[in-house]
Amino acid sequence: MAAMSARSTNRLRQAKRVIIKIGSSLLVDQQTGDLRRDWLDALADDVAVCRQRGQDVLLVSSGAIALGRRSLDLGARSLRLEDSQAAAAAGQIRLAHAYQESLARHGVPVAQILLTGDDTERRRRYLNARNTLLALLSHGSVPVVNENDTVATEEIRFGDNDRLAARVAAMIGADCLVLLSDIDGLYSEDPRQNGGADFIAEVAEITPEIEAMAGATGSHDGSGGMVTKLQAARMAAQAGCSMVIADGRAAHPIAALEDSGRGTWFTTSATPASARKRWIAASLHARGSITIDAGAARALNQGKSLLPAGVTAVEGDFQRGDAVVVRDPDGLALGRGLTAYSTADARRIKGHRSSEIQSILGFLGREEMIHRDDLVLG
């Protein structure tokens, strides 16, 4: 058990980019509807520690509807869809302000991002959201992500911040996802009904037996329960991200997780980078091709990015973020990559220096036609 605890602690402490998902039952007092300010301040302390050791941190937070109930005096009754949306709108501003105040104690800037399923699944929206989140992290901010409940009607009905957190993990290349819950992990049976249920400390593969355990393990955290946490674990693993379900009810939940190691870890042998490369190589349909000169080909084989100066021809009909085939001067395929420019823009800047892009296109785009992280050779 001590060895397992040490491995768990190392997974979290050695992660470069961490996502922490907070359920509404942790953030909002279920009896009074008030924000649990002391708990939030303690979580902010944990986030500050993570950042001090060089980790990027992003929060995925529920709680807007729960807080909005109190603001609009809606009580504990079941809400109509439009009332849920109104509560989300009223509660979201309180939620964002609370995070801002708690993290400001450590001089940490906060940014609010509201997403829907479409934002993570439609390519153009996905790219815009991804670029915004990565820019915020590069500027030292802690993004606080929530579903845009005022417009995402399906998300309100099915409550899905577990899977949203996993989607965001894949989007930004996180290597650790922490789901803070009102239960300390996965059990063979519901521990509330069977005190002898076995605790599952680590899951290397999600089998039908594991899925059956998830259906039996109770959780009151949000409206997703253990089943959606298992779905999130599968999504995270496919993106090269390890995930842990841990008890978040005590103060300083991240510090507690590191100290005790208590939680169910869903592990993966992949890394975010390798998972992304595999996705580019095997899962995306190429929308066109880019032919490069011999110098650019040598640069790519040395692990460098593709710059516009090395491009000699552009074929096909693609948009920013689409997959294209990269060809050498003889027309042979060198690999595949995600282009930073559309067909029209790529043709205008091909053969030009990166410093000329702004004057040619009228906006400041990326220096690379294809970044090395978005390129797979072979």
pLDDT, tens only, 5-56: 556 668 899 999 999 999 888 999 888 888 999 999 999 999 999 999 999 9
- Sheet with 375-377, strands from edge to edge, namely 311-316, 288-292, 323-327, 333-338, 375-377
C-alpha separations of 260 from 27, 328, 365 in Å: 22, 54, 46
| 303-333 per-residue burial string, b: 16 or more CB within 10 A, e: under 16 | eebbbbbbbebbbeebbbbbbbbbbbeeeee
Q: How far apart are CA 259 and CA 339, in angstroms?
A: 44
% the chain with pLDDT above 70: 92
What DSSP designation does 178 have?
Answer: E
What DSSP designation does 30 have?
Answer: T
Q: If we measure between CA atoms, which residue out of 266, 271, 270 comes closest to residue 202? A: 266
Q: If we measure between CA atoms, which residue out of 229, 236, 232 comes closest to residue 213? A: 229
Average pLDDT of span 73-77: 80
The number of CA neighbours under 13 Å toward the Cβ of 189 is 6
Q: What is the pLDDT of residue 43?
A: 98
Q: Where are the alpha helices (DSSP H) in 240-309?
A: 253-260, 272-282, 294-301
C-alpha separations of 339 from 1, 320, 322 in Å: 47, 6, 6
* Least confident segment among 94-98, 149-153, 253-257: 149-153
Per the CB < 8 A criterion, the answer to whether 219 and 249 are in contact is no
Q: What is the pLDDT of residue 6?
A: 59
Task: Write the pLDDT tens digit of every residue in 201-212.
Answer: 999 999 999 988
What DSSP designation does 369 have?
Answer: S
Average pLDDT of span 316-331: 95
**What is the three-class DSSP state of 114?**
strand
Cα-Cα-Cα-Cα torsion 346, 280, 133, 102, nearest 10 degrees, comes to -170
Higher-pLDDT residue of 255 and 76 is 255
Average pLDDT of span 140-160: 73
Residue carrying the six token digits 């519901």: 190
Q: What is the pLDDT of residue 153?
A: 60
**What is the three-class DSSP state of 241?**
coil
Q: What is the pLDDT of residue 269?
A: 87
**What is the three-class DSSP state of 144?**
strand
The DSSP bridge pattern shows strands 333-338 and 375-377 to be antiparallel
Q: If we measure between CA atoms, which residue out of 107, 120, 32, 141 comes closest to residue 76? A: 32
Per the CB < 8 A criterion, the answer to whether 342 and 359 are in contact is no
Return mean pLDDT, the chain. Answer: 89
Length of the chain: 378
Average pLDDT of span 217-231: 66
Instruction: Sketch out the chain's domains with CATH numbers.
Output: 2-270 (3.40.1160.10), 284-377 (2.30.130.10)
| Residue 122 binned pLDDT confidence (cut-offs 50, 70, 90) | confident
Q: What is the pLDDT of residue 7?
A: 65
Q: What is the pLDDT of residue 158?
A: 39
Give the global pTM. Answer: 0.85
Q: How far apart are CA 19 and CA 58, in angstroms?
A: 5
Q: Where are the alpha helices (DSSP H) in 283-320?
A: 294-301
Q: What is the pLDDT of residue 151?
A: 76
Q: What is the pLDDT of residue 356?
A: 97
* Least confident segment among 104-118, 276-290, 357-371: 276-290
* Spatial CB neighbours of 281, under 8 Å, sequence gap ≥ 6: 336, 376, 378
